[in-house]
Amino acid sequence: RSVLRSVFDEVIEVDTLDSADSVRLALMQRPELGVTFTKLHCWTLTHYSKCVFMDADTLVLCNVDELFDREEFSAAPDSGWPDCFNSGVFVFRPSLKTYNLLLRFAAEHGSFDGGDQGLLNSFFSNWATADIGKHLPFLYNLSSSAVYTYVPAFNHFGRDAKVVHFLGATKPWNYKYNLQTKRVMQDGSTSGSFHQLSFLALWWNIYSASILPLLEKLQKMEESESEECKVTDKEQPVCEVEQSGSNVHLSEPDRPSEQLVFHPAFQETSELDEVAHSISELSIHFKPEEPSPEDERRKWEEGRMDYMGKDAFEHIKKKLDAFLY
């Protein structure tokens, strides 16, 4: 949170469980939509006249201020079903009236896909036909995966992409990254296409150059504050006074051994522990274990070639030249 606040003008924490009674009632009727109701909270930001919502797995490649020229509800077509919009990026106007209507609609009708995208498409059901001006170009919500990408179109229009969306269960932060080679490390469970790998590398480059230093700085500050919070028990013992005639004897009981008192925050797990753990996963391997020929053949048969690395065209050409010449 501290890092977010150092970057953004306003950070608002959303906790569905502590929200209004209407939300709790809707959740009781549709408990499977818990995460969805969290996204709906964006309509409560009524101190803003217009907003652009962006999923956490999107990456902005250039200035997109022109999105504020659009009206509610503007979104890009979904690559899987273009008559529906993808809810990863959309323009909206905060309104408590719309918010309450969405809650009521969700409680009564649910979502055809079990998430926010199905709910919002059902609520804004005329998006596909009412106003073409509310159809954002696909470049504002470009899928990073070749599974959903029309490759020739990407080759032609991809250079103008404005927002990349990392669709799917595997997100950029689930990969490992080699800080020395600046390459994304992938295994069988995190394979990607050429285009996806290039966007993944960009995400990690931005993270390592701009975000990681902020996290490291915060961690050092917390460690420094924790050291300062160490104090010693300097409580002075009470002296016992014994008077005998004209003589006064001061007897001081044995001083207790020095005690260390720690600030509670120092004893608790740091908020950055999970981040630090992720950082520790950053790969610095210089010589990864070579896969067996059987593993290599299986990857080719499954279409998981490393086009950016050992399976690049120039390496294949060298291999062929070695046999032919």
| Contact (Cβ atoms closer than 8 angstroms) between residue 256 and residue 40 | no
In a domain, 70, yes or no: yes
CA distance 238 to 235: 9
Higher local confidence (pLDDT), 181 or 233: 181
- pLDDT computed for residue 36 by the predictor: 72
Least confident of 2-16, 171-185, 245-259: 245-259
- pLDDT computed for residue 250 by the predictor: 39
The residue range of the domain holding 83 is 2-138
Least confident of 30-39, 51-60, 281-290, 311-320: 281-290
Question: Strand pairing of 85-92 and 51-54?
Answer: antiparallel
In a domain, 193, yes or no: no
Question: If you search the block for the tokens 């179109």, which residue do you land on?
Answer: 153
- Top mean pLDDT of 82-91, 139-148, 216-225, 226-235 is at 82-91
In a domain, 18, yes or no: yes
Higher local confidence (pLDDT), 6 or 92: 92
Among the listed residues 98, 90, 118, the one whose alpha carbon sits nearest the alpha carbon of residue 44: 98
- Top mean pLDDT of 22-31, 147-156, 280-289 is at 147-156
pLDDT at 135 over 70: yes
pLDDT tens digits, residue range 261-310? Answer: 333 333 344 444 544 445 445 543 434 456 666 667 666 655 566 656 66
Amino acid at 261: V
Residue 219 — pLDDT band, cuts 50, 70, 90? confident
Q: Is the pTM of this model over 0.85?
A: no
Q: Cα angle vertex 29, ends 25, 32, to 5°?
A: 110
Residue partners of 121: CB distance under 8 A and separation at least 6: 84, 85, 87, 112, 127
pLDDT at 245 over 90: no
pLDDT tens digits, residue range 158-179? Answer: 889 999 999 888 899 988 888 8
pLDDT at 27 over 90: no
Q: Mean pLDDT throughout 191-207?
A: 82
At 50, phi and psi to the nearest 5?
A: -150, 145
In a domain, 224, yes or no: no
Sign of CA dihedral 132, 115, 42, 199: negative
For position 84, which CATH number holds?
Answer: 3.90.550.10
CA distance 289 to 311: 16
- pLDDT computed for residue 138 by the predictor: 94
- pLDDT computed for residue 191 by the predictor: 58
- pLDDT computed for residue 38 by the predictor: 84
Amino acid at 30: R
- Give the C-alpha distances (Å, rounded to integers) separating 131 from 114, 126, 185, 274, 282: 26, 8, 43, 45, 46
In a domain, 97, yes or no: yes
In a domain, 173, yes or no: no
In a domain, 35, yes or no: yes
In a domain, 201, yes or no: no
Question: Strand pairing of 231-232 and 240-244?
Answer: unpaired
Structural domain total, the chain: 1
pLDDT at 204 over 60: yes
pLDDT tens digits, residue range 88-133? Answer: 999 999 999 999 999 899 888 888 888 899 999 999 999 999 999 9
